[in-house]
């Protein structure tokens, strides 16, 4: 009753609040707006440059919105074969890598979630210890190349088969599944494998969705393993291609497009680079907004109590 | 219920009497299921730990991994060489400062942003802002560094075009050692603040609405509500995350530094992991690079163990 009366006396709206609160409200508004602008601006600018007229870009006229309209840079980039080779490679690594990641994560997480499993504690320690300590770059490089994985597609999948952190998240999700479900199935003669597949996995679907997303993004963005283990351009993923074009030099595309002369090169270099960024960001920007509901749930998974 | 309890009880007695072999018989399927993961960890995580021995050897690549057993033992020679070199202090300093500035600058921003977004009156705009600001988190390091490099380019970059237009002189940001840390920290913060704010937003949303009501009754201003209600309520989350971040303090992103730096900015940009990469992979000084890498892993180990211990003591929870 009291609360209601109080609220009636001081309705919670901008118009009726005190001057100090109004100032704070405006500051908050400005802060959030600023955050949105600095996040969006680089992307909008990149898109604008990529579709603007080359001469306007070279003059530096494009600041936010496109000036003129020309898709010639898209033409040059999409005609360049290496782009599609690397896009295809990234597709392969992302799809197969993610599938392998999720399967192995479940296989590892399920036994570790079983309280009665007699090796649970030692294996748990065995796995978690790798989060504390690692052999380091050089010994890992030796092992991977020693296994003959240099210039092999498996180098993009096997060394990053399981993320310990993700497996721990999966484990705690599985251990929250009511044990009665497993006991009953077990009395009916169900095997552990069957129970994992038909009880544990379906019940932790939201968690698995988040982990799948994290894994897929990691595989899509993986540059490190490619740089270390893939010297052959025919096997390299998109990120390697992007590094060459964006950071080192775009001359390869200009040359194949038959662009000659310093002026034409200057006009097109920036556009070509920004086209590449647009092409690389499209998959991420189209998928993540759709899975945002899982994402927000996902970041909460990190705080595993143990 | 009673029957199950009895069964459980008898299982315990049974297990106590019939040790290991019986347990294997009972749990072999779980073990089999774990086996592929076990092999992964043995090969890709533990075998490299064995490979640390390289740091004490004059390792030659020709013999492959087997060279571990045939290479000449040199003891602490590589460690002595590293610590007496001019690079040691620079690398340790750069690694530490890069993480330290990232923490000082990068840690408070998500908290401030989370408070702003939850205090915003326009709720829908807040939601949209949240979705937009965490997008950069999913963009690859290559693209982020690529955008930065091109925006800052002395000839065609938009930033320098603006500077020149306003009558200034173009700055070659990417090859200026004074700018390296700032660029690293700012771009890192730009990429992660939205995503890192999600956990704080959730903590703030979890605050009981009645507490706000109670403060309304007391006539508290919005500012007072933030200071005396919101901040105390999320302090545990803040402390927990701070400790976790401290644990990974020295885990400077190799990829990003590698993509950003050039010999011109080694003075401030070269970190331990990039040095290990250059010495090992590019110069083939495998033994020396492994030794430096081992030093790095060991320091990291101390940090993580300490932070986890702190976390358990202060908040009762830890990562595992």
Contacts of A25 in chain B (CB under 8 A): 121, 222
> With bands split at pLDDT 50, 70 and 90, how would you rate the model's confidence at A3?
very low
> With bands split at pLDDT 50, 70 and 90, how would you rate the model's confidence at A20?
confident
A8: contact with B, CB 8 A cutoff: no
The whole-chain average pLDDT of chain A stands at 86
Contacts of A107 in chain B (CB under 8 A): 33-34, 36-37
How far is the C-alpha of B3 from the C-alpha of B144, rounded, in Å?
Answer: 62
Q: Where are the domains of chain A?
A: 75-301
| SS3 state at A107 | helix
Give the model's pLDDT for residue A54.
Answer: 81
| SS3 state at A133 | coil
Q: Concatenated DSSP letters for chain B? A: -HHHHHHHHHHHHHHHHS-HHHHHHHHHHHHHHHHHHHHHHIIIIIHHHHGGGGGGEE--GGGGGGHHHHSEE-TTHHHHHHHHSSHHHHHHHHHHHHHHHHHHHHTHHHHHHHHHHHH-S-HHHHHHHHHHHHGGGGS-HHHHHHHHHHHT-TTT-HHHHHHHHTT-----GGG-HHHHHHHHHHHHHHHHHHHHHHHHHHHHHTS-HHHHHHHHHTT--HHHHIIIIIHHHHHHHHHHHHHHHHHTTT---HHHHHHH--GGGHHHH--HHHHHHIIIIIT--HHHHHHHHHHHHHHHHHHHHHHHHHHHHHHS----
Distance linking the first and last C-alpha atoms of chain A: 42
Average pLDDT over residues A212-226: 93
Position with higher pLDDT, B185 vs A262: B185
Contacts of B290 in chain A (CB under 8 A): 136, 138-139
CB contact under 8 A, A158 and B44: yes
Give the model's pLDDT for residue B12.
Answer: 54
Share of chain A above pLDDT 70, in %: 89
Please give the distance of CA B13 from its chain centroid, rounded to a whole number. 46
Which residue numbers in chain B have pLDDT < 70?
1-18, 61-65, 316-320
Q: What is the DSSP letter of A158?
A: G
- CATH fold for the domain made of A75-301: MetI-like fold (1.10.3720)
B253: contact with A, CB 8 A cutoff: no
Instruction: Tokens 């002395």: give the residue.
Output: B154
CB contact under 8 A, A144 and B121: no
Which residues in chain B (98-157) have CB-CB distances under 8 A to chain A? 112-113, 116-117, 119-122, 125-126, 128-129, 131-136, 138-143, 145-147, 149-151, 155-156
pLDDT over 60 (residue A10): no
> With bands split at pLDDT 50, 70 and 90, how would you rate the model's confidence at A67?
confident
CB contact under 8 A, A107 and B44: no
pLDDT over 70 (residue A296): no
Give the model's pLDDT for residue A189.
Answer: 87
Give the model's pLDDT for residue A301.
Answer: 60
pLDDT tens sequence across B43-81:
999 999 998 888 898 887 666 667 777 788 888 999 999
Give the model's pLDDT for residue A75.
Answer: 86
Please give the distance of CA B14 from its chain centroid, rounded to a whole number. 46
pLDDT tens sequence across A151-161:
999 999 999 99
Contacts of B318 in chain A (CB under 8 A): 306
Contacts of B43 in chain A (CB under 8 A): 143, 147
CB contact under 8 A, A133 and B193: no
The whole-chain average pLDDT of chain B stands at 87
pLDDT tens sequence across A160-176:
999 998 999 899 899 98
B161: contact with A, CB 8 A cutoff: yes
Position with higher pLDDT, A31 vs A271: A31
pLDDT tens sequence across B217-242:
888 888 899 999 999 999 988 988 88
Structure tokens at A175: 């251990």
Q: Where are the domains of chain B?
A: 2-73, 77-315
Pick the CATH number of B77-315 from 1.10.10.10, 1.10.3720.10, 1.10.760.10, 1.20.810.10: 1.10.3720.10
Give the model's pLDDT for residue A7.
Answer: 45
pLDDT tens sequence across A182-203:
989 989 888 899 999 999 999 9
Please give the distance of CA B229 from its chain centroid, rounded to a whole number. 30
How far is the C-alpha of A53 from the C-alpha of B256, rounded, in Å?
Answer: 32
Closest residue by Cα to residue A227 from B221, B149, B141: B141
How far is the C-alpha of A38 from the C-alpha of A31, rounded, in Å?
Answer: 11
- pTM of the prediction? 0.88
Nearest by CB to residue A24, choosing from B44, B113, B222, is B222
């Amino acid at each position: 009753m009291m609360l209601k009366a109080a609220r009636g006396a001081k309705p919670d709206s901008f118009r009726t609040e005190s001057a100090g609160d109004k100032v704070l409200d405006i500051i908050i508004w400005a802060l959030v707006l600023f955050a949105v602008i600095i996040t969006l601006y680089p992307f909008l600018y990149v898109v604008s440059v990529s579709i603007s007229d080359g001469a306007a870009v070279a003059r530096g006229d494009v600041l936010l919105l496109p000036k003129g309209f020309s898709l010639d840079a898209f033409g040059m980039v999409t005609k360049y074969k290496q782009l599609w080779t690397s896009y295809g490679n990234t597709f392969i690594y992302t799809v197969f890598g993610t599938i392998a990641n999720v399967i192995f994560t479940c296989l590892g997480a399920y036994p570790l979630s079983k309280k009665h499993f007699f090796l649970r504690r030692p294996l748990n320690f065995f796995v978690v210890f790798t989060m504390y300590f690692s052999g380091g770059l050089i010994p890992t490089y030796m092992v991977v190349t020693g296994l003959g994985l240099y210039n092999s597609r498996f180098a993009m999948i096997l060394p990053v088969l399981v993320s310990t952190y993700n497996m721990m998240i999966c484990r705690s999700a599985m251990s929250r599944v009511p044990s009665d479900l497993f006991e009953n199935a077990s009395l009916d003669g169900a095997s552990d494998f069957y129970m994992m597949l038909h009880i544990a996995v379906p019940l932790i679907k939201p968690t698995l969705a988040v982990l799948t997303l994290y894994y897929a993004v990691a595989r899509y963005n993986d540059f490190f393993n490619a740089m270390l283990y893939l010297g052959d351009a025919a096997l390299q993923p998109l990120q390697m291609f992007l590094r060459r074009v964006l950071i080192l030099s775009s001359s390869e595309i200009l040359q194949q497009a038959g662009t000659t002369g310093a002026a034409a090169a200057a006009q097109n270099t920036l556009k070509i680079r920004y086209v590449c960024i647009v092409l690389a960001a499209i998959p991420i920007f189209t998928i993540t907004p759709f899975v945002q509901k899982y994402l927000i749930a996902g970041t909460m998974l990190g705080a595993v109590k143990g | 219920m009673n029957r199950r309890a009895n069964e459980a009880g008898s299982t315990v007695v049974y297990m106590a009497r019939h040790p290991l072999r019986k347990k294997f018989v009972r749990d072999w399927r779980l073990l089999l299921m774990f086996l592929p993961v076990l092999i992964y960890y043995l090969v890709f995580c533990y075998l490299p730990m064995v490979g640390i021995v390289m740091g004490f050897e004059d390792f030659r690549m020709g013999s492959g991994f087997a060279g571990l057993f045939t290479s000449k033992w040199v003891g602490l020679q590589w460690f002595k060489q590293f610590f007496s070199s001019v690079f040691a202090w620079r690398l340790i300093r750069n690694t530490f400062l890069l993480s330290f500035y990232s923490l000082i600058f990068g840690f408070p921003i998500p908290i401030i942003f989370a408070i702003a977004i939850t205090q915003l009156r326009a709720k829908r705009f807040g939601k949209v802002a949240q979705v937009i600001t965490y997008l950069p988190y999913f963009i690859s390091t290559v693209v982020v560094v690529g955008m930065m490099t091109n925006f800052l380019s002395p000839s065609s970059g938009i930033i320098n075009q603006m500077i020149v237009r306003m009558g200034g002189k173009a700055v070659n940001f990417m090859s200026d050692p004074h700018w390296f840390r700032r660029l690293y920290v700012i771009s890192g913060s730009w990429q992660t603040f939205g995503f890192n704010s999600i956990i704080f937003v959730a903590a703030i949303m979890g605050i009981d609405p009645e507490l706000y009501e109670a403060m309304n009754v007391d006539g508290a201003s919005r500012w007072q509500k933030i200071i005396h209600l919101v901040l105390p309520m999320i302090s545990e989350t803040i402390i927990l995350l701070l400790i976790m971040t401290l644990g990974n303090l020295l885990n400077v992103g190799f990829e990003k530094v590698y993509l950003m730096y050039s010999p011109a900015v080694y003075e401030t940009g070269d970190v331990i992991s990039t040095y290990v990469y250059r010495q090992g992979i590019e110069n083939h000084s495998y033994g020396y690079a492994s030794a430096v890498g081992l030093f790095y892993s060991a320091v990291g180990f101390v940090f993580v163990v300490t932070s986890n211990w702190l976390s358990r003591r202060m908040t009762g929870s830890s990562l595992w």
